[in-house]
Structure 1
């Protein structure tokens, strides 16, 4: 493997952003390293240093001739190590700084974990106490686990974007391969894939007809001559070029729906490029259907201009299919950083986050849950005091345990 020279400017914007983040985390690590260290703390310091070193090496990596398809691996290597280093940093900082980072952790958790995820629910219940400085070792462990889970969920979301991007590029390549194969086959065997039409009898002679092909119009042709014999090598290629032009028009029109995104992998670009070979293919198939009288109301075309016009129209018509791909791409991008409204699973969480204290209109939790415990933890331990409940009072809160 060949790395870039030290001090060389990053090749891409994401590498520059990653190196800036690495420099910040290295400064944080140096600050924590000089503090008195236990064996566990030394292990965390060394682990964080190792992750930052790997992230820096991945950001500087130059894959040479493999660069075109190695960018995703480099990106994943950089950001996965940076996120692991940030999780370790949360374990190293003081209680006061951990309390200050609690809101940032909660924001990430809300972006990437489901509403009924037990880590999100418990962290939401303890958030106010943590911010006020009442942080315990179990609270810090909860923050670390929740942050790690949020980063793992983010990785899964980006993996779905990357997977769809790869599918689209693969589909584009296969369709392009088919279009090129048709053009090559039509070049060498034009009669077998003829898209020439015989619209009318030539008025100059009772026995003459006109044959219309994508690249030429033949007049006064003997009535017994098959139209396919007049097909030329450039016919299919010409039709595909007209289909490409029609597809290009739909790509320009679809740009109004494309929004900028901070997600990597350029998914909208992959979706747009797919339209071009699909337009060329649909132009050829559309004219083939007209020639075979499969389109009701359409007879043989009268002129070369009509042939090319219909080819462009069929090329633009591919949008009826590819717009579904556009919608899927936009939906996948929208799912990054936006959790779905999951159904509450009683085995995962006792309540939804709407019961978290401090949120508008949300009732407070039962007394047994004030420290972020689950529905049965306090009852099983038997160590947490319960608020007295008057069973005869209407609206009294039920007990946490049996």
Structure 2
């Protein structure tokens, strides 16, 4: 007879019941942590897979009625179904719990695009005719107006709308050209992902530098003090961001300036610069549009401004202390130092605005409704 307080049975089933909920909970948490991309993007691709699967089944059943093409139809259908299954596998958390970011969404979309191209090759002409407007629009988004591929797909569309039959050459061209347009869209999306990773790396590096500078200044406050020595009627003062020493009868030397410096001077200036940069970031949001991509570039652009503002506040005050700005080499009070730290922190916008422009240009390059016309295309049709 087993001990009732041990929580175990002779066959081990009781222990298994206790451990299984914890194991399942841990697996769900692990998979949820791996899903860092937008959940809506993943669900949208899964819904699209179901839609393409239904279209594939219908197209294959219609094409199977044509006995000369039965073998080719079966081959195309088998490959398309394999691509759809690979797309589902790419979105299954249990298949790759270590996947990070939104890369799995892009991989699934690539397999889905291949399945769509195969449907063009096996579907009956009526089905391809229904898909032609979408294919023409996709090609128009990614090819210039004088590109021969864009001109030919329009010619095929006009000919089919007038009642002409699709030739095998036409089907192959439609499949290859639309596939190329989708690959171009994927490349544009990958450029955005690469830009987002660079932004994240640069922001983390700037933050690390700001933290290291604050730590070094806290450890050695007299190393490079943020202090000024204004003169008033032959008397000198030592003014720092958080403290000041007044009424010195001679110009203060480096040691006396170091005595007035405090460990928190750099930290205070960095905090003020970061807060000022946050205000500038909020003001810049009026020019930044959101994105439907799974890479949050606007958020990363805003995050870059904070450590940049902290560092520009420090560098600006050091330039003033070195006499780089004529007439502003000696500030009179701690309040003036903080005020100039606010100005220099906000001035980071002069540098990061170019990064903002580049980020918005990359987002605009990913074609979609409301995006700018492709290169070489004007407003006129």
TM-score past 0.5 threshold: yes
In structure 2, the residue matched to 1:340 is: 375
Q: Secondary structure at the match of 1:219?
A: strand
> Contact 2:226 / 2:321 at 8 angstroms: preserved in 1?
yes
> Contact 2:227 / 2:261 at 8 angstroms: preserved in 1?
yes
Picking from 200, 205, 216, the partner of 1:185 is 216
Deviation readout 1:139-165 (Å, 9 max, x if unpaired): 222211111111111112112212222
In structure 2, the residue matched to 1:40 is: 72
Picking from 119, 123, 137, the partner of 1:89 is 119
Give the Cα–Cα distance (whole angstroms) in 1 for the partners of residues 356 and 38 of structure 2: 29
Question: What's the offset of the Cα at 1:328?
Answer: 1.3
Cα 1:252/1:311, change in 2 over 3 Å: same
Give the Cα–Cα distance (whole angstroms) in 2 for the partners of residues 66 and 303 of structure 1: 54
Matched, 1:17 2:52: no
Task: Identify which of structures 1 and 2 has the higher relative contact order when contacts are C-alpha pairs closer than 8 Å and 6+ apart.
Answer: 1
In structure 1, the residue matched to 2:345 is: 315
Q: Secondary structure at the match of 1:296?
A: coil
Structure 1 residue runs without a partner (length 5+): 343-358, 361-402
In structure 2, the residue matched to 1:240 is: 270
Greater share of helix residues, 1 or 2? 2
Picking from 126, 138, 155, the partner of 1:108 is 138
Matched, 1:268 2:292: no
Give the Cα–Cα distance (whole angstroms) in 1 for the partners of residues 285 and 168 of structure 2: 51
- RMSD, aligned α-carbons: 2.5
Give the Cα–Cα distance (whole angstroms) in 1 for the partners of residues 269 and 210 of structure 2: 11
Matched, 1:54 2:86: yes
Q: Secondary structure at the match of 2:242?
A: coil
In structure 1, the residue matched to 2:23 is: none
Cα 1:64/1:227, change in 2 over 3 Å: farther
> Contact 1:188 / 1:233 at 8 angstroms: preserved in 2?
yes
Alignment of 1:214-233 (within 5 A): 214-220=241-247, 223=250, 224=252, 226-233=256-263
> Contact 2:87 / 2:107 at 8 angstroms: preserved in 1?
yes
Give the Cα–Cα distance (whole angstroms) in 2 for the partners of residues 133 and 140 of structure 1: 16
Question: What's the offset of the Cα at 1:219?
Answer: 3.2
Question: What's the offset of the Cα at 1:181?
Answer: 1.4
Aligned length: 333
In structure 1, the residue matched to 2:231 is: 200
Give the Cα–Cα distance (whole angstroms) in 2 for the partners of residues 63 and 38 of structure 1: 34
Cα 1:63/1:179, change in 2 over 3 Å: farther
> Contact 2:322 / 2:329 at 8 angstroms: preserved in 1?
no
Question: What's the offset of the Cα at 1:287?
Answer: 0.4
In structure 1, the residue matched to 2:179 is: 148
Question: What's the offset of the Cα at 1:11?
Answer: 6.7
> Contact 2:243 / 2:260 at 8 angstroms: preserved in 1?
no
Give the Cα–Cα distance (whole angstroms) in 2 for the partners of residues 65 and 193 of structure 1: 48
Give the Cα–Cα distance (whole angstroms) in 2 for the partners of residues 219 and 131 of structure 1: 89
Runs of 4 or more above 4 Å deviation: 2-5, 62-67, 220-225
Matched, 1:210 2:237: yes
TM-score, reference length from structure 2: 0.81
Structure 1 window deviating more from structure 2 (24-33 vs 79-88): it is: 24-33
Deviation readout 1:344-375 (Å, 9 max, x if unpaired): xxxxxxxxxxxxxxx97xxxxxxxxxxxxxxx
Picking from 170, 178, 184, the partner of 2:201 is 170
> Contact 2:60 / 2:122 at 8 angstroms: preserved in 1?
no
Question: What's the offset of the Cα at 1:23?
Answer: 1.1
Give the Cα–Cα distance (whole angstroms) in 1 for the partners of residues 278 and 98 of structure 2: 30
Deviation readout 1:38-85 (Å, 9 max, x if unpaired): 332222112111111111122222699856xx1232121111111111
Give the Cα–Cα distance (whole angstroms) in 2 for the partners of residues 262 and 113 of structure 1: 22
Cα 1:102/1:11, change in 2 over 3 Å: closer
TM-score, reference length from structure 1: 0.77
